[in-house]
Amino acid sequence: MSCIFTFGNDKSFKEQIANGEKKLIQVRQQASQLYFAYHLSKTMISRRLGVGKPFVIKWTQSPDQDFTRDERGWPKGKPRRWNQTTLKVIKTIHQELTGDPHRFFTGATAIETEWRRRYPEQSPPPIRTIGQLLKELGLTSPRKHHRSKGAARYLCYPEHTIYHLLGGRLLEADFIGQKYLAGHSQPLQFIAFSFKHSPKLRYFQRVTAQTADVFTTESGRFFDRYETPEFLKVDNCLATIGSASGKRNLSKTMKFLLSHQVIPIFAVPRKPFSQASIEGNNSVFSRMFWNKRRFESPEQVDQVLDWFNRDSELYTGYQSPKNHRSTKNSFIPKIYFLRQVKEHPTRKQTAAINVLNEQINLPSEFINYFVLAEWLLDEERILVRFERDLHSLVIHEQVFRINERSKNIKLDR
């Protein structure tokens, strides 16, 4: 292990401590003033200042309390529990991960995972603490975070229905935008797979093209290598949803997934947040893999991508489920479509969604809200579901015939 780091010599860390103490003293004084001078209730003060009620109770016992006293019980400018040995271990692991060409993840989660692997008898600090220590040691750089306005939740995006009410393991898949090597005219294509919920996994593969044949081939390989999910959520590209003009067609990808007893879920068109997990992983692919290395050939890309996938598995701690799926005699073939309700293109004051180039009319009060259309293939009927208070309600149903030209699939097994 290398040199010892002393926080006392870190000017920026001292300034952070001083600023934190100053703010804390000000909040204590504000709580006292609001209580004794303005006679606000302790509950109201807690809400206004964004602090816990015990904090307000503690600092409203007397108008002449000493708001500057330090009751932490350990020296100023020092971590409460984590000594210099802990700092050295974190620093060493970070340096070794950064210097290893086979490793790509060097943040707090990666360090915690590596700590547990190396020192199973000693618990590491919490991930948030590791992240703070890395920041104080100058080993991280700030990342821009996009603010979420919560529109999806406000407009009743059926998140709970998809991940909790459908009942099963859900995988997301998508093609990544074209990448170019310096000096090469032909673009490189990639496909990404992601499990959002535990056991989490991200996996990337270079492919020859963004076609249905490629999508089904790579999906089959993923199922064989890792696990077969109950659901696969995909985008509405031609490789997955099929014809841009034919109505109520079963695409090649749909048939492939249904033959493996995997139910397709199509994301909301032109709404990347509905593929948030896979879009986030595509961002990880760009930041941690493509933009961090200089590649000279496709063969080099393949080699390093194999390292990246292995490190991703280590980073997420993925382990294939012990009980693999078996063929179900009770499998009900169906397809789901996430859609946002829009005003009907020709009828004013009428709402509609587009499913496989068919307009499905809905009550106008659902305009702008998100719905989940469930196509029951054996009954050739479609249900439109709306999520309210974590419950899935059927708001519309109608006959939805399978196009005769695409009925060459065995629907029951």
Q: Are residues 4 and 33 in the same domain?
A: yes
Strand-pair category, 231-234 with 201-207: unpaired
User: Can you give the pLDDT at residue 144?
Assistant: 59
Strands (E), 286-408: 334-340, 342-343, 351-355, 358-362, 370-376, 381-388, 391-399
User: Can you give the pLDDT at residue 233?
Assistant: 96
Q: Are residues 138 and 165 in the same domain?
A: no
Q: Are residues 236 and 256 in the same domain?
A: yes
Q: Are residues 73 and 90 in the same domain?
A: no
Structure tokens at 301: 């890309």
User: Can you give the pLDDT at residue 256?
Assistant: 97
Q: Are 358 and 243 in contact (CB under 8 A)?
A: no
Strand-pair category, 370-376 with 231-234: unpaired
pLDDT of residue 413 exceeding 70:
no
Our count of domains for the chain comes to 3
Please give the Cα distance from 108 to 114 (Å, whole number).
10
Nearest one of 278, 305, 283 to 195, comparing CA atoms: 278
Q: Are residues 114 and 34 in the same domain?
A: no
Give the pLDDT mean for 191-219. Answer: 94
The domain that holds 260 is classified in CATH as 3.30.420.10
Please give the Cα distance from 314 to 97 (Å, whole number).
12
Range 65-80 burial, b when 16+ CB lie within 10 A, else e: eeeeeeeeeeeeeebe
Q: Are residues 405 and 307 in the same domain?
A: yes
Q: Are residues 301 and 376 in the same domain?
A: yes
**Domain boundary pick from 142, 166, 181:** 142
Q: Are residues 135 and 173 in the same domain?
A: no
In this prediction, residue 205 has a pLDDT band, given cuts at 50, 70 and 90, of very high
Q: Are residues 222 and 124 in the same domain?
A: no
Q: Are 171 and 229 in contact (CB under 8 A)?
A: yes
Please give the Cα distance from 283 to 277 (Å, whole number).
10
Q: Are 203 and 192 in contact (CB under 8 A)?
A: yes
The region of weakest confidence among 24-38, 200-214, 253-267 is 24-38
pLDDT of residue 64 exceeding 50:
yes
Q: Which one-letter DSSP state was computed for residue 368?
A: T
Within 10 angstroms of residue 85's Cβ, the number of other Cβ atoms is 10
User: Can you give the pLDDT at residue 250?
Assistant: 95
In this prediction, residue 1 has a pLDDT band, given cuts at 50, 70 and 90, of very low
Q: Are residues 73 and 91 in the same domain?
A: no
Q: Are residues 156 and 112 in the same domain?
A: no
pLDDT tens digits, 343-358: 987 777 789 999 999 9
Task: With H, G, I as helix, E, B as strand and everything else as coil, classify residue 49.
Answer: helix
Q: Are residues 57 and 111 in the same domain?
A: no
User: Can you give the pLDDT at residue 281?
Assistant: 78
pLDDT of residue 73 exceeding 70:
no
User: Can you give the pLDDT at residue 237?
Assistant: 92
Residue 105 belongs to domain spanning: 86-142
